[in-house]
Amino acid sequence: MQKKLIAAAVAGAFVAPGMAMAQNPSTVQIFGTIYMEYSWATVGAQGNGNLSGTVANGGLAGGFPTGDRTSVDSLQSPGSEIGFKGEEKLGGSLSAWFQCISTADYRGQAGNGWCQRNSAVGFKGAWGNVFVGNWDTPFKRTVDLGRVGGADTGIYGTAFLFAGTSATVNGRGTPTGWKRRQNNSFTYESPRWGGFQVLGMASVLSTADVIASLVTSAVPGSKPRLYSLAASYVNGPLAIGAGYEQHENFWTGANAATGAAAFTTFGGSDKAWHLSAAYTFFGKLKVGGSYLWSDHDTFNGNLAGFVAGSSNSNFKQQTAMVGADWAISGPWGVRGNWTWAGDSKGSMGGNVIGGLVTPTLIGNRVANGGAGGTGANLYQVQVYHKFSKRTEVAVGYVYLDQEGSARYSLGGQVNGPAAGVTQQAVGLSARHTF
């Protein structure tokens, strides 16, 4: 009898943990996207990298070689990722959750480490969702409601023209980019009320940023901050979004009190707002569009590189896009997009020579004191075939037509293209989600 009791106790010791785990199963999920894009592009000449002046060593200008580079082919993997997420119920409507998404570059080229894409830890309940980490700003999430028929990055990417860039950024990095995945940020999402939702984000100073220790100790001046607010209405076939974002103290300049060799100071108040909308007709034809207005501050003439005689008006620009995606029949469909960037206004510190403002690059945008000729149009069309809900292949054509002073680069193919160069590309892509 005693032996039977001992055997039962030993068996229970092994069975009980299994029963407990069965009652509390893991909620961790694995998901992701693998995207392959091969393109062949005609990109024209490569020009002066810094727009103003040249140097005399081997025809280099601003570090970039001049001359023709008429065609280039490339293999890209924008948007390829692998993620892990989980959630635990804490009682009532309260849950704790986490998510970690990392780049999954099958080419073995972009080794960005863990959690470089939308990643966070947070709590959510009937009152909403609050989390901290590395996440797309509310501005980016709602402006993309109107992005139809074009991609964000890659050869079909629209972000370079529409919003300056679309990337993960640290602290004040890429100040001219308005589609940001912001490191070190706090986000709040309200509950959805009949399809309506409000979103807010604020960034904190990054300890990984090279400016962090300087700003928090010896440097007079303010800390860089991002504030992003947005609202959306998504219900059935209709999606509408509006957003406002402000970048405080993103620009740097020499500390005037102690000289150029001393610590930098920080200033400027950049701002942007957008309106976006999309509608799906009969479940087959989706049309959408977005409008964005941005204003970059000049930091009171204290930007690095400003000299006496500089013209110091704010840099402003309007951009827009419209697109459509039509599921024609069965697995076949076609999508297209037109993205427009208007002429820039202001100079953002360009030197005044003979009454004219020397053009300067603000990110990938040219500031020439409002002289004009800095706009561009991007056209694209793709034909796609869906093998399933998770697997698609497509072939497409992209054409970038820009004015004589513009220096945009199609799909990131050229570093410092010559002004006004027309660019075009054909691409083949495949996407699988899991």
| pLDDT tens profile 227-244 | 999 999 999 999 999 999
Higher-confidence residue of 434 and 348: namely: 434
Residue 164 contacts residue 316 (beta carbons within 8 Å): no
Distance of CA 336 to the CA centre of its chain: 21
Minimum mean pLDDT among 13-22, 83-92, 127-136, 371-380: which range? 13-22
* CA dihedral sign, ordered 298, 299, 302, 304: negative
Q: Percentage of residues in the chain with pLDDT exceeding 70? A: 74
Residue 311 contacts residue 348 (beta carbons within 8 Å): no
Number of CB atoms found within 10 A of residue 117's CB: 22
Domains contained in the chain, number: 1
Given this model, what pLDDT does residue 197 score?
Answer: 98
Number of CB atoms found within 10 A of residue 8's CB: 10
- Provide the mean pLDDT of the chain: 82
Given this model, what pLDDT does residue 47 score?
Answer: 58
Residue 418 contacts residue 403 (beta carbons within 8 Å): no
pLDDT digits (tens, 9 = 90+) for 172-213: 888 889 999 999 999 999 999 999 999 999 998 765 454 544
Q: How confident is the model at residue 49 (pLDDT cuts 50, 70, 90)?
A: very low
d(CA 137, CA 243): 10
Q: Domain for residue 330, yes or no?
A: yes
- Highest-confidence range of 168-177, 269-278, 359-368, by mean pLDDT? 269-278
Question: Does position 323 have pLDDT exceeding 50, yes or no?
Answer: yes
Q: Domain for residue 26, yes or no?
A: no
Q: How confident is the model at residue 399 (pLDDT cuts 50, 70, 90)?
A: very high
Q: Domain for residue 88, yes or no?
A: no
d(CA 25, CA 97): 15
Residue 353 per-residue DSSP state: E
Mean pLDDT, residues 408-432: 86
Given this model, what pLDDT does residue 17 score?
Answer: 46
- CATH number of the domain enclosing 196: 2.40.160.10
Question: Does position 299 have pLDDT exceeding 50, yes or no?
Answer: yes
Given this model, what pLDDT does residue 392 score?
Answer: 98
Strand segments, DSSP code E, in 282-314 are: 285-296
Mean pLDDT, residues 400-404: 94
Question: Does position 224 have pLDDT exceeding 70, yes or no?
Answer: yes
d(CA 326, CA 336): 9
Q: How confident is the model at residue 418 (pLDDT cuts 50, 70, 90)?
A: confident
Element (H, E) at 283: none
Q: How confident is the model at residue 268 (pLDDT cuts 50, 70, 90)?
A: confident
Mean pLDDT, residues 64-69: 50
Mean pLDDT, residues 135-148: 98
For the chain, the residue count is 434
Q: How confident is the model at residue 44 (pLDDT cuts 50, 70, 90)?
A: confident
Q: Domain for residue 249, yes or no?
A: yes
Question: Does position 16 have pLDDT exceeding 80, yes or no?
Answer: no
Given this model, what pLDDT does residue 403 score?
Answer: 95
Higher-confidence residue of 198 and 20: namely: 198
Given this model, what pLDDT does residue 297 score?
Answer: 84
Q: Domain for residue 415, yes or no?
A: yes
Mean pLDDT, residues 143-162: 96
Q: Domain for residue 67, yes or no?
A: yes
Expressed as residue numbers, the domain containing 232 is: 37-75+127-433
Phi-psi region of 338 (alpha: psi -120 to 50; beta: other; left: phi over 0): beta
Q: How confident is the model at residue 258 (pLDDT cuts 50, 70, 90)?
A: very low
d(CA 50, CA 101): 36
Given this model, what pLDDT does residue 371 score?
Answer: 85
Distance of CA 126 to the CA centre of its chain: 30
Q: Domain for residue 409, yes or no?
A: yes
- Highest-confidence range of 34-48, 89-103, 218-232, by mean pLDDT? 89-103
Given this model, what pLDDT does residue 58 score?
Answer: 33
Given this model, what pLDDT does residue 312 score?
Answer: 63
Q: Domain for residue 87, yes or no?
A: no
Provide the 3-class DSSP secondary structure of residue 30: strand
Higher-confidence residue of 202 and 10: namely: 202
d(CA 317, CA 370): 10
